[in-house]
Amino acid sequence: MGYKQITLKVPTLYDDDLLRKLICGNLQISEFSWQIEVKSLDARKRSDIHWLMRIGVSSEEITGPREPRTEKLQIPLTKRNEEVVVTGSGPAGFFCALLLQKAGFSTTLIDRGSEVDKRNSSILRFERDGVFDPQNNYAFGEGGAGTFSDGKLTSRSKRITREREFILQSYIEAGAPEEISWMAHPHLGTDNLKKIVKNLRHQYQQLGGRMLFETMLEDIKVSSGRVTEALTSAGPLRADALFVAPGHSAFETYRMLIKKGVAFRPKNFAIGSRMEHHQEVINRIQWGRPELPGVKAAEYRISSGGDGKHQVYSFCMCPGGMVVPAMAYAKTSLVNGMSHFKRDGLYANAGCVAGIHPGDLAGKEVSALEALDCLEQLEQQFYLFSGGYDAPACTIRDFIDSSLRETSLKSSYPLGVKPARLWELLPQSIAVALRAGLVDFTRKMKGFDTGNLIGLESKTSSPIQVMRESGGLCSGFENLFVIGEAGGYAGGIISSAADGVKAAMHYAGGNRP
């Protein structure tokens, strides 16, 4: 049985019969099996938009080597009398706990929020009645912030091949579509993720893992550089090791860790607003037509040098999605984006953000605590402007011209928008950079200035970063790990999950005192 990889140009609308015919014609063989390995949309020429597919073909008619084996993650399995506590059920925390449970540890995974169905009910009530739930929202609850997002599974992280394969296969076994293993830009969508995180939880519990919802990590007990107990709202938990993965929004957890001597430093991050267009506008810009058979909705990724000091770029683009209220705390205001797997909503949205250092934002050199304070104050200022959870907004054209002319704005944002001079609400250096970037975006994508800018986008990543050793171990501690977006070394579902897997593998492999 021989094996060969081929690359095919395939129409956007195709079926398996056509694919088989193309493979047969390319290799001149009649009996074979195949597997799509990579599938990406080539839209460089509007007159010739197609899928590019790399396909692995196996056949007795092919001479040559057999199909190469996929390098898999080898989890060291040994029964251990150790109690490990993991906080936060987002991608980093969950996959860390799952791997450690598979490796033979007794793990307890805690989350300050509720299980996903109760969390979803709280979010729907918030969007309907404006009643904010500090325990269950777009930031906190089962699955973390990623559960209510576009569910992108792309990552620029290097050397995570085995970790990525383990994560994707786990998602597929929990009900994710198999296409995530071959799409160049895979995504799950919020509708899928709400089912997947529940299925993953059941799998983890069947392995013997314990999961405690509505349980907040309030403090830690430390002796001679070792964590001995996790002090939670449900009582103390013995911790032979503690993995902290609360996401980038849990400011009180950051502050507690800093108070306990965990070293953090400010780092570069990005802030701005969220851009929103009718999806058809983006389709026409990218494809030259309102729709494309076989493709859900047009995407874009765009960047600019901004004002020459701060790079401006699109962030977390959600085709066919909606802008959502992403605040983690009451009386703050910030936005993000989400979409369903079909990406069939009327609007497209993406962050429009500029890179900056917390010290530049504050106008002085700042500590990690001061960086958190500075960002928290900005999120509170956007709330105070509106006097509630409706989001300040303006058109892109008005932002470019610094003139608020259009006051009747339509948006997918569920809590409503309030006309605002966003260029005055944002820090001045950010507003200047965004204006230059938006002019550049409009030059590159004709019609881009017909969209709106909505609210404050402040959660692209954490503004601080933990000082840590190999495997995520916190400097100065023997058994404390800060992982995922909370650590400041990862961003997004895959890189965060991989960070949790790597930390778990480091510990499970005997790298512990």
Q: Give the 3-state secondary structure of residue 277.
A: strand
Q: What is residue 114's DSSP assignment?
A: -
Please report the pLDDT score of residue 287 as a whole number. Answer: 97
Residue closest to 354 by CA, chosen among 444, 268, 449: 268
- Residue 42 reports pLDDT greater than 80: yes
Single-letter amino acid code for the residue at 434: L
Say how far residue 463 (Cα) sits from the centre of its chain: 16
- Residue 385 reports pLDDT greater than 90: yes
Tokens of 319: 């085709």
Q: Give the 3-state secondary structure of residue 319.
A: strand
3-state SS, 191-213, equals HHHHHHHHHHHHHHHHCCCEEEC
Contacts within 8 Å (CB) and 24+ apart, 13-17: 13/293, 13/294, 14/51, 14/294
Q: Give 118-165 pLDDT, tens digit per residue.
A: 999 999 999 999 999 999 999 999 999 999 999 999 987 778 999 999
Tokens of 24: 């047969």
Say how far residue 398 (Cα) sits from the centre of its chain: 30
The pair phi, psi for residue 68, each rounded to 5°, is -65, 145
CA angle 227, 262, 270 (to 5 degrees): 135
Residue whose entry in the numeric block shows the structure tokens 């938009």: 49
The pair phi, psi for residue 439, each rounded to 5°, is -60, -45
Query: Chain-wide mean pLDDT for the chain?
Result: 96
Please report the pLDDT score of residue 99 as a whole number. Answer: 97
CB-based contact 146:339 (threshold 8 Å) = no
Please report the pLDDT score of residue 182 as a whole number. Answer: 95
Q: Give the 3-state secondary structure of residue 316.
A: strand
* Domain 2-59, second-level architecture: 2-Layer Sandwich (3.30)
Please report the pLDDT score of residue 68 as a whole number. Answer: 82
Residue closest to 4 by CA, chosen among 52, 71, 64: 64
Domain borders along the chain are: 2-59, 83-265+471-508, 268-366+375-457
What does the alpha-carbon distance between residue 333 and residue 328 come to, in Å, rounded to a whole number?
9
Q: Give the 3-state secondary structure of residue 116.
A: helix
Q: Give 432-482 pLDDT, tens digit per residue.
A: 999 999 999 999 999 999 999 999 999 999 999 999 998 889 999 999 999
Question: What is the full DSSP assignment across 363-416?
Answer: TS---HHHHHHHHHHHHHHHHHHHTSSSEEEEEHHHHHHT---------S-TT-
Single-letter amino acid code for the residue at 93: G
CATH class of residue range 83-265+471-508: alpha beta
Please report the pLDDT score of residue 513 as a whole number. Answer: 54
Top pLDDT among 69 and 136 is at 136
